A and B are shown apart, each in its own frame.
Chain A
Amino acid sequence: MNLFGQVKYLVGKDIRLEWRSKYALNGMLLYVVSTVFVCYQAFKKLDPITWNVLFWIILLFASINTIARSFVHEGQGRQLYYYTLVSAQAVIISKIVYNVLLMLLLSAVAFFVYSIIFKHQLGDPLLYLVSVLLGALGFASIFTMVSAISSKATNSGTLMAILSFPVIIPLLLFLIKLSKNAMDGLDRSVSYNEVIVLVAINLITISISLLLFPYLWRD
């Protein structure tokens, strides 16, 4: 099987696993909804800057919780089994693709619930959706690699947070800036710079992950 076929098969396998157990998927969606509701109870009313930042903070914690388990929930034995069957690149690409899909679903649900509960007028909804899309991509690609690293250690939960927060900050800052521009309905030419930087960060992290994962995997 070539690389593309392997990736397709592994992504299909991950989706099927998720669909069969369901508790993880439902738990994750419920996590987002209840976090938004807790914030609603605590804040009641938000000014525009807080509205934007709070959305990204909720999404950040939801995605860390979701992606942290992407390598832990499969045992060492099964990892070894994959190792004999497919190439390392196929495994990391399939995990990134799967996490991107998961994050798209998660951020769509989060955005929907969030904008229903906290009503707010968006200046440029399309650009805001682009920023959410880029955010889902970036969170998925960075957290997948960090979760692969932290899954090798003993107390991986704490380590996941320690390792990923500093790494995610540049991405988060650019996302907040881009989505703020979209919220204020500024002219799109103002935001090109941010979009380019975000795409560049995503490309860099994905290519570094592809280069480094084979070393991480060989245990």
Chain B
Amino acid sequence: MRSFWWKALGTILVLYSVIAGLLGPVPVLPIVHESIRTLYYHLPMWFSMFLMYGISVVYSIKYLSSGKEEYDLMAVESINVGIVFCFFGLISGSFWASVTWGDPWPSDPKLNGSAIATLMYLAYLVLRSSLNEEQKRAKISAIYNIFAFPIMIVLMYILPKLTDSLHPASGGNGGFGQFDLDNSMRLVLYPGIIGWMLLALWMLSIRYRYRIILFQKNQ
């Protein structure tokens, strides 16, 4: 993971999506207008968050089956990074909503689901800080993490699909693909998603290495 190329690739892709996202052509739509460009920054945040939470659940399972401290550090750091992306997703989303829906936080299952999922992961951090013994903390928080992950998926993905929603791609609405007739948005969006995910991985690897050094110093 220390090699250079993927960090450079991530940086280039993010730069490309920021510049092309602001300058490139977008479909002209009523109500949404130019705010459709928020899509380039809103969607990658959630993809990166799902990637981080997914990594953390994998490492929690690995921790439970092997008991290595390093896996626990990886799990907690990926949740830390994931929460940052989740907050940026919420902020960009409520900015977009205030332009198009006229309200930064309308009562909508997709929005409320993601807010509740955020509370769940903040509760994970509270749970960690309330346990003092290191091994016990690692084990119990790994168990809660695995328990919370499927419920997070239900809250953010399945529940909004089953009920009425304002949000695209839930409650029977189509996704943004239906407006992107000449695929010009996809050319910016997909590289952007990959770029932000690589950036999240980079942040994770830095934080993880920092924690490993701290851990070895305490030994």
Contact = CB atoms under 8 A, between A and B. Distances in A.
Nearest to B64: A215
A64 to B, nearest CB: 14
Interface in A200-219: 201, 204, 208-209, 212, 215-216, 219
Contacts of A150: 127
Contacts of B150: 204, 208
Contact of A153 (B130, B142, B155, B159): B130
B139 interface: yes
Contacts of A193: 162
B8 interface: no
Interface stretch (B27-35, B45-53, B94-102, B118-126): B118-126
B174 to A, nearest CB: 21
The SS class assigned to the A binding surface is helix
Contact of A155 (B117, B130, B147, B159): B130
A154 to B, nearest CB: 6
Contacts of B120: 166-167
Contacts of A165: 119
A166 to B, nearest CB: 4
Interface string B123-160: 10011001110001001101110111011001100010
A74 B139 CA distance: 21
Nearest to A161: B123
B131 A152 contact: yes
Nearest to B151: A167
B116 interface: yes
Contacts of A155: 130
A173 interface: yes
A153 B64 contact: no
B123 A149 contact: no
17 contacts: A149-B147, A150-B127, A153-B127, A153-B140, A159-B127, A159-B130, A163-B144, A165-B119, A166-B119, A167-B120, A167-B147, A170-B159, A208-B147, A212-B64, A215-B143, A216-B140, A219-B136
Given A153-B131, A154-B131, 14 more contacts: A149-B127, A152-B140, A159-B126, A163-B127, A163-B144, A166-B116, A166-B148, A167-B148, A173-B159, A208-B146, A209-B147, A212-B64, A215-B139, A219-B136
Interface of B: 64, 116-117, 119-120, 123, 126-127, 130-132, 136, 139-140, 142-144, 146-148, 150-151, 154-155, 159, 162
